Chains A and B, each alone.
Chain A
Amino acid sequence: MDVKYVNPFIVGMQNIFNMLNMTSIQRTGLAKREKLKTDNEVNIIIGLVGDLKGNVVISLPDSTARNIASTMMGGMPVPELDMMPKSALCELTNMVAGSSMSQLEQMGVAVNITPPMLINGRNMMTMISQVETLVISFNCNEGKLEMNIATE
């Protein structure tokens, strides 16, 4: 994956988190993904088709997922990840992907995105694409989260 395509994703993430009043978001790392196992219970995936072809997954622990959903719903407590918080997280991912795509478009890269799908479970192994996957880690007051990007 070309390095110049990474920044639009980071900017997209930061834009949307700032817009949703989660201004504490900070990028904490950037690495190649080396294992298939993930400790994160919640994964939201969006597919990319067009000049870039691949998948983007926002992956986060259950606690971060509930905290973010709570912030998005005006501070309402979220004791359990049921339909409403799941919808909120799907919408968040959709907005992040949308913002990232418009950054890419300014670079002349046209990409279509699929609707989001949220997968949650325990002891998960995930293979986002057969190609190399990049992991961008973030930290915010709501907790830790990461963005996995795999493009062919």
Chain B
Amino acid sequence: MSTVQIGPFVAATVSVFKDMLDTDIVKGQPEAEGDSFVSRGFTVLVGLTGGWEGWFLLDMSQETACTFAGAMTGEDYESVENEEVLYAGAEIANIISGNAITVVNNAQPGLNIRLAPPSVFAGQGMSMFNARLSSSSVLMQSNAGPVKINVAAREGK
């Protein structure tokens, strides 16, 4: 179940980074994650309800997040304490998850997955724990550093 779920998010991540940030991403293979996801320091979470219930996570280091935010706005950011970095990260994850669920909903009418607004967490030694969700990740490489996406979800009503 979980490796099937992450496919559309991988495709959306690659195309959004290409179109929005002009960044080529080399994608890895899906792997099972278990109940704890270890963050690199900057994570955007987007909630899913409807046919799939759970979370989409976009994770990277704080330096990588600053680089991508800079690519979007044309300014230089030194730390994630600048809230524009958080807004930029939220926007990227929002577009990726929006694209991905549009593909899934079109392919499977009646699934009707809907998204919650993105929220951003940045810090040290962060980990995300989910209770009884099926979770898988794909690690990707960009020229600004590694980016990891994770989908932790279950089938909803």
Binding site for B on A (CB under 8 A): 36-37, 43, 45-49, 53-55, 57, 83, 86-87, 90-91, 112-131, 150, 152
Contacts and interface: CB of A to CB of B under 8 A. Distances in A.
A134 to B, nearest CB: 14
Contact of A115 (B90, B121, B130): B130
Given A54-B117, A123-B123, A115 B128 contact: no
A86 B48 contact: no
Nearest to A131: B117
B103 to A, nearest CB: 19
A132 to B, nearest CB: 12
Among B45, B83, B86, B131, max chain A CB count under 10 A is at: B131
Contact of B87 (A53, A114, A130, A150): A130
A29 to B, nearest CB: 22
Interface string B32-43: 000100010001
Nearest to B120: A127
Contacts of B125: 121-122
Given A36-B83, A114-B48, A119-B128, A45 B122 contact: no
Contacts of A128: 119
Contacts of B86: 36, 125, 127
A124 B123 contact: yes
A121 B36 CA distance: 13
